[in-house]
Each structure stands twice: as C-alpha cells, then as structure tokens.
Amino acid sequence: MHGQPAYAAYPMYGAGAAYGGAYGMPTGGAYGGAGYAQPVAGYSDQHAQYYGQNVYAQQMQQLQQQPQAAPAQPTAPSEAQLKAVVDCLSSPEKLRASAQSFFSAHDKDGSGELSLDEIGTCIAHIQRKLNLPPTPPSLNVKLVHRFDKSGDGKLDFPEFCALFMALLRRVRDKYADSVTAAVGKQAFTGQKAAGKIQDSYEFVKKLGQGAFGEVFLVTEKSSGRQRVCKTVSKSNAGGTPLDEVKDEIRKLAMLDHPNVLRVFEYFEDYAKLYIIMEPSSGGELFDAIEKKAKTGQRLSEAWVAGVFKQMLEAINYAHTNNIAHKDLKPQNILLGSDSSDDAPSVVVIDWGLAEMFGSTRRGRQIGGTPYYMAPEVWMGNYGYKCDLFSCGVILYQLLTGELPFEGRSIEELQQKILYAEPDWNCLSHVSTEAMTLCRWMLAKQERQRPSAQNALKSQWFQLAAKKVQPLGQRAVDGIKAFAEKDHFQKTALTAVVAQLSTSSLREIKCVTFRCRFCICLFSLFCVCGDAFKEYDDDGNGVLEEVEILGALKKLGVEGDAAKKAVEAMDMDKTGKVTYSEFMAACVSMNADLVESTLWSAFKQFDKDGSGTLSPAEVQQILGGGQLKHMLPGGKSAEQLVSEMSGGRSEISFDNFRQHIMGC
C-alpha cells in the first residue's frame, strides 16, 4: 500500500473491538453492504486467466452462457415422502444405504467417483423421487464444490454421502412442519441437552454486537472461570438447516490444538443458540503490524516466521479435520505476548462462524474481509485453499507493512485480486525462501497453491526453529508415573483439560505439586504447546505412536516402559495422542488449576444431576463395560465406587476429588 500505512486501510473499531470483531461480530462499516456479493462480469479477456485451471469456474462460465430455462412450477413432497426423508435422516444405516443406491446408479463407469455431470443427473433423480422442482445447474455446481475436498470436480462416496445428507436436511427443514433433532451431550466438550444457560453461567457484561447477535463476558458458576458467550438467532441461519449449524459447532468444539481458540459447549432455547468459548486475552496480530507501520519499521523475518508457522499449524490441523476458516485476517490472529523480540504464542479465532450464520446459503454469499479474500471467493466457488490465499496476504503484510492488493473502490480491489500481481519489489529485502512461500500462497489458481501441510515444509521455517530444553530424570519419572494411573483418574484429568483455556494450559510452569499420582510428563517444558508440537513431526495436530516413541527414546525411556506410557496417554485407543490427552498427563502438576475445574468434570459425569456418581455412571465414564481392560485387576464399577466412597453405593464430589487429587 503505497502512500499510506497498511493500518489506515481498516475501519476503526470502538469499545469492545477485541471481542466484537474477534468473535465474528461485525459492527458494520466499509465491508457491511450486500453489494460485494456479485461476481464480476464483463471482463471476457481477463476471465481466461482466472478460469484456466479451475474446473468449477469453467462449469460456471459454461452455465452462464446457456439460455435459462423457464422456472419450474413449485411442487412438494407427499406426506409419505417426507416421512421417508425423516426416517432416513434418523438412521445412519438407512442414510448410507440410500446414498449408496443413488451413487451406484449414477457411477456408470464404476470408477468409485461421480463427475459433475453424473452428480447433476443424480440430484435431478433425487428431486424427481421426492417430487421437488429442479434446482438451477449453477446451484448444483456450487453445492458440489462444498463437498469436493480435492477440488478435482468429482465426489467419492463419503463426499457424496455428505452432500446427500445436506440435500435431505434441506428438504426436511423446508417442507416438514417441525422436525428438530435433540441436542446430544458428549463427555467433555460440545453440547448440553438440558438446562438453561443461566443455570450454569452468570452474564457479566456485553462485549459487542453485530449482524448475527451479541457477545457477552460470562462467568461459569461452578468454577468461577470467565468465558465468552456468543448468542446467535436461529433465524440468522438462513437457508442452512439447523442440524448443519449444530454439526459445525460440534466440529468447532472438538478442535483440540494449542493454536486454536477453544469452543466448550453450546446451549439453545426456542430462538437462540448460545456458544461458549474461551476469552481471548492476547493482543491482535493487527496491533503488531500497526505498531511497526506507525514507526516506519518492519517486523523481523525470524519473528514473522515464528508467528506464521503457528498460524499454518492451526490451519493445517483444522483442514485435516474438515474445517476451513474462510475469514483469516490479522484481527483473527491473537498473540499471547506483546514482545517483538521473541515469537509469541499464537491463537487463531473465529472459525467459520460468520459464514455459518450468514443471511444466504453457501455459494450465494461472498464472505470474508475483502483485502484477504481469494479470487475464487469473489467468484462464489471456493474450497479449503481460500485460507492459504488469505495466509499469503497476511504474510506479505507482515513482511512489508503493506497490503498486496488495494483499490479506491471495492470493484477496483476485486479486479486487482482476480487479475493483478502484487508489487514483488516490496519483498526485495526478505530471504528467497520467504519470497517463494509468499508467491506460492498468492497464486490465483487454487490448484497452484500449496496445502497448509505442504506450506509448512518450506525451508523458511528453519528461521523459527526452537531448541528444546534438555530433559532430566524428573521428566522420565513423570512419564512412568502417569502410565500407572488408573483409567478413571486419567479420564477425569482429560475432562479437566477439555474445560481449560489454551492460555491456562500455557501458564503451566515447572512447579512442585502435591498430587501423588503423577509427576508431570511436561515438567521440564515451560510452554506446553511447544513441546506437543515439537514432537508432532508431520504437523497434523496429533502425536502418532512412532512420534511419541521417538521422543521417549530421547528421554531414555524405551521398550515396554515406553509402550506402556503411549497406551496410558492414548485415552480413546485410536493409536494417536491428541493435545488434550497429552495435557492430561501434564495438568495435574498445578493442583489449584485441577481442583478449580474438577467440579465441572464431576457435573459432566453426573448424568442425572443427583450430585453423586452411581456405578452405572462410572461404567459409562469408563467406556461402557470394558472395565477389565481399564481398571487394575479387572475391578467392576461397583467395586470402584465402594473403594472410592468408603463402602457406600455412590461417589460424592469429595470422594471424587480425593481420588483424583490424592489428598
């Protein structure tokens, strides 16, 4: 941005901006109008540059050139057809069988994939079966793009099955009078099926308000911990079925990574959803850029590499879990420290919530912040790699203090993002590796951009390499001690970790603690997320068995002892260790932190709200009856309850606390 600093291009935020903006609650301003939702038209020569390798864009261009058919007469499914749709959606087996029937009927070449033409024919087949009016082919193209993870214009069966479910949900929600699935309750994060939010949280103050609802600072009554509550009206879901909105919230709640803001749970009433998230305590990356721009300075390349690597690690983890951000910008990147000398910890916030509660369906709305939007987002058809383009814009801005694309109007900005190149001379002062990565991510074509995983392989990130503290005997002892804990204790600690914020986990230091069950695996690491990621060789956000065994070998733990430690941390028996599983072996070093959160864990285990844990509830905690493999000596739930309660038939909270804390 020549002639003015980068920060001058942004609308100024008022009080509560860190929450109103950070949690996806826009307050209007330069980007709030609906006029940006229209694809650009009338640039036929330049269109060839963009459409060259984008299979969806080619399809859309062809469809726009075809004469439009007269609108079909509205029809509706019969009562019997609607009942069949509802029954299908209520049974995963029926849903899969029905999807398989349609898929096989249209997979003419037996390739195991459906082309765009085959999918269009299949959708028309489904619509005829349900007595529905046909949808425009352009809408089908946009719908397919949503589920095509590889971007090759084809859907395999799992992708088609997801599309099929989305179609049926839309039919049900449009034509059925009132069909709402019950909100489930998982063990540690995600949802609450019963109870008012006011029973669990006290509303402290309002932090922001925007087009989708309001943001409040709240306090959890059981623990006194501060949370952020985002309220959204169900009516703002637009054409998106409520089930899909809830699915997205569940996915967000299951994200488990040191660089991802935590979503804990949600409540609902007849009108609203209440999403509970951790508060964001750090400053925005935007502030760091603005501070340097005001003084005419640049951020150091090593600092940028350290911050940017953490960003990409969060993006890679989310993409691996089928979640795209779609609105990456410096305001959605929070820093755990204001230091510009050492790379601070990074947390990425506001995952996909703005699009989830948009006023129109996906593909019909241009979402995001214009300066950071990929070409395909402007064209209305985009996938996961739109996040990589946004990352490229952020990287360019971090390295230069300027934006790669600017315009005096939204239309001019749109044209430059679609067809113009940034001024690469602005990067003449940076390393070749930084320049290469930035160019790669700012490629106009999706297919020419790297995935987040491939971007992380850039040699540039050697600048951000950190030396690991040498580990002593205490850490070795901690690993062995954790392996000896019983499954109930480890499960409870996992529940505790699931309710802690990333900032709380980062604050765990090398201190003495009184828990007799565990000398922390993490005791010689001062920052927990760094250790977890240090061992995560492939950057996928989980520790594979081979990664953990390699790390343990460096600590001098090998053979049966190492395997036992891995099995102890792998709570869900997937062969992988998640961030929370790793931290469950670490968090008990801070007795105060654990004790303040134990009541939340206890309430989640207490399914009937009686204030005690019955043998049936203990058995459910431990995995539905596989106690022989989970408790020393094959104890039953009844025996464990009797031991923990001093011979009584149920476990009180005091019994529970004493068993976990060892005091």
Q: Among candidates 202, 505, 212, 542, which has minimal Cα distance to 350? A: 212
Which positions ≥6 away from 112 have C-beta within 8 Å?
156, 157
Which positions ≥6 away from 627 have C-beta within 8 Å?
619, 634, 635, 636, 637
Least confident segment among 8-22, 61-75, 153-167 = 8-22
Which positions ≥6 away from 412 have C-beta within 8 Å?
none
Q: Which residues are annotated as a binding site for ATP?
A: 230
Decide if pLDDT at 266 tops 70.
yes
What confidence tens digit (pLDDT) does each residue in 318-348 have? 888 778 888 899 888 888 754 445 667 888 9
Task: State the pLDDT at residue 539.
Answer: 59
What confidence tens digit (pLDDT) does each residue in 524-558 have? 233 334 545 555 555 555 667 677 677 666 656 66
Decide if pLDDT at 221 tops 90.
no
What confidence tens digit (pLDDT) does each residue in 561-576 have? 667 666 656 655 666 7
Decide if pLDDT at 30 tops 50.
no
Q: Among candidates 229, 236, 231, which has minimal Cα distance to 201? A: 229
pTM of the model: 0.56
Please give the residue that has the higher pLDDT: either 131 or 627: 131
Least confident segment among 4-18, 52-66, 145-159, 428-442 = 4-18
The tokens of 194 are what?
Answer: 């019963």
Decide if pLDDT at 310 tops 60.
yes
Task: State the pLDDT at residue 438.
Answer: 97
Q: Within 13 A of 626's CA, how many CA atoms are on the CB side?
A: 7
List, by residue number, the catalytic residues: 327
Please give the residue that has the higher pLDDT: either 295 or 303: 303
Task: State the pLDDT at residue 390.
Answer: 96
Task: State the pLDDT at residue 205.
Answer: 93
Would you place residue 387 in the very low, low, confident or very high pLDDT band (cuts 50, 70, 90)? very high
User: Residues of the chain with pLDDT > 70: what percent?
Assistant: 56
Decide if pLDDT at 265 tops 60.
yes
Decide if pLDDT at 273 tops 60.
yes
Q: Are 403 and 371 in contact (CB under 8 A)?
A: yes
Q: Terminus-to-terminus CA distance in the chain, angstroms?
A: 61
Give helix then strand counts, H and E, for the chain: 29, 12
Q: Are 420 and 348 in contact (CB under 8 A)?
A: no
Give the pLDDT mean for 197-222. 84
Decide if pLDDT at 423 tops 90.
yes
Where is mean pLDDT largest: 278-287, 328-337, 454-463?
454-463
474 to each of 81, 354, 496, 519, how far by Cα in Å? 65, 46, 23, 7
Give the pLDDT mean for 610-631. 62
Average pLDDT, the chain: 69
Please give the residue that has the higher pLDDT: either 273 or 67: 273
Task: State the pLDDT at residue 225.
Answer: 82
Where is mean pLDDT largest: 41-55, 152-166, 351-365?
152-166
- Residues 562, 566, 570, CA angle at the centre, nearest 5°? 170
Least confident segment among 29-33, 224-228, 261-265, 437-441 = 29-33
The H-assigned helical ranges of 285-337 are 285-294, 301-320
Task: State the pLDDT at residue 435.
Answer: 95
Task: State the pLDDT at residue 99.
Answer: 92
Q: How far is Cα 80 from Cα 78, in angstroms, rounded to an integer?
A: 5
Q: Which residues are annotated as a binding site?
A: 230
Task: State the pLDDT at residue 302.
Answer: 87
Strand partners, 265: 276
Task: State the pLDDT at residue 424.
Answer: 95
Decide if pLDDT at 366 tops 60.
no
Task: State the pLDDT at residue 456.
Answer: 93
What confidence tens digit (pLDDT) does each residue in 160-204 have? 988 888 888 778 767 764 333 322 223 334 444 356 888 889 999
Q: Domains in the chain, start-ordered, CATH in brackets? A: 72-175 (1.10.238.10), 284-464 (1.10.510.10), 473-661 (1.10.238.10)
Decide if pLDDT at 364 tops 60.
no
Least confident segment among 35-44, 117-126, 454-463 = 35-44
Decide if pLDDT at 89 tops 70.
yes
Decide if pLDDT at 361 tops 50.
no
Decide if pLDDT at 510 tops 80.
no
